[in-house]
A and B are shown apart, each in its own frame.
Chain A
Amino acid sequence: MTIAMQPIYTQTVGSGGAASITFNNIPQTFTDLKLVVSARTSRNVGVTDDFGIRFNSQNTTYSVTAIQGSGTAASSFRVTGASTVSNIITNSNASTANAFSSADIYISNYTSANFKSVIIDAVQESNGTESYQRLIAGLWQNTSAITTISLIPDNSFLQHSTFTLYGITKG
């Protein structure tokens, strides 16, 4: 029986925080990858912060298109020429206490010789009017198979932030 979704790696941030999270030596035996993230950063202004994902330590040729809700307004934006698949929303340390963001990051055909396409749904919650939801389509213009993934916040990830990488296998 083929296991369709299998946890590969999990990292949990300890009391010292983490400037970034990296998954190395990603097996090349799956079809797609899925990252599940529950995070909070050390930023002390506003309710949100962002993080990006970087493949194989390469910091060029990333872009995103996104739709966003703020709790009161919907908008859309695009970023090109970025150093990561960027603008993945997360909770800042000025947001509601003990609230961590929730994100699902899907990376399709990660071993193929195509450019790498990503779809992300991410939310951060705060006990107030302002909170953000983002649906992001991302692209890495590189044909290499993905062997490492780094998650890089604008500010450090805080303790209890969790990150799990899953391998998805087609039939």
Chain B
Amino acid sequence: MSMVWIASATATGSTSSVEFTSIPQTFTHLQIRVFAKTAGTGAFDSISMNINGGLGEARHDVYGTGSAVGSSNAATSFFIYIGGTAQFGVAIVDILDYTNTNKTKVSRSICGVDNNGSGLAALTSGLELNTTAITSLTFIAGVPNLAAGSRFDLYGITTSSVTGA
């Protein structure tokens, strides 16, 4: 078995963040599957992801909105785009080698939302300089809150002991 469900977190509408703690150290990679929107007024919104309570050092993305394309950067935590006022958005977040203390922690996601006339699709990335193994992840919407029904599913992914070389 290579992809194992670890935990899920569902927003109630009165919370601005969800957190996974005590993440098992027995896998090689982590994947988080997100179905979420905020209570915001825009066509889409964004939420950040903190690793081990840290703020992260850099994030970058490439995106399209149906009428424009762009790429952005910031010296802040990794983030994903989700739904805003209308539909729920979807994101798949991958964090490879999350227990490897020789590596910084790089997050990657494909994400977006379509509202039948507006929306956004994106490929995002983020950098946490600390090489410490990941034991917790926190997704933070801030203001407005995550909408009720927003769901975050955490999976652990294993690798093989055979090289095939």
Contact = CB atoms under 8 A, between A and B. Distances in A.
Interface of A: 3-11, 22-26, 36, 38, 67-74, 96-104, 121-135, 159-160, 162, 164-166
B67 interface: no
B68 to A, nearest CB: 9
> Which size bracket describes the interface of B in this complex?
35 or more
Contact of A125 (B29, B126, B160): B126
A70 B71 CA distance: 6
17 contacts: A7-B159, A9-B165, A11-B165, A22-B165, A23-B165, A24-B165, A71-B60, A98-B131, A100-B96, A100-B106, A102-B107, A121-B110, A127-B129, A131-B73, A132-B60, A133-B124, A165-B164
A53 to B, nearest CB: 14
Contacts, number: 156
Contact of B106 (A23, A99, A135, A159): A99
Given A36-B29, A123-B123, A160-B102, A10 B57 contact: no
Contacts of A11: 163-165
B148 interface: no
Given A3-B2, A104-B94, A129-B73, A69 B62 contact: yes
A9 B28 CA distance: 13
Contacts of B73: 71-72, 129-131
B2 A7 contact: yes
Given A96-B129, A125-B104, A164-B159, 5 more contacts: A9-B162, A69-B123, A71-B73, A102-B96, A104-B94
B72 interface: yes
Nearest to B3: A5
B33 interface: no
Interface in B17-40: 28-29
B146 interface: no
Given A71-B72, A73-B71, A133 B125 contact: yes
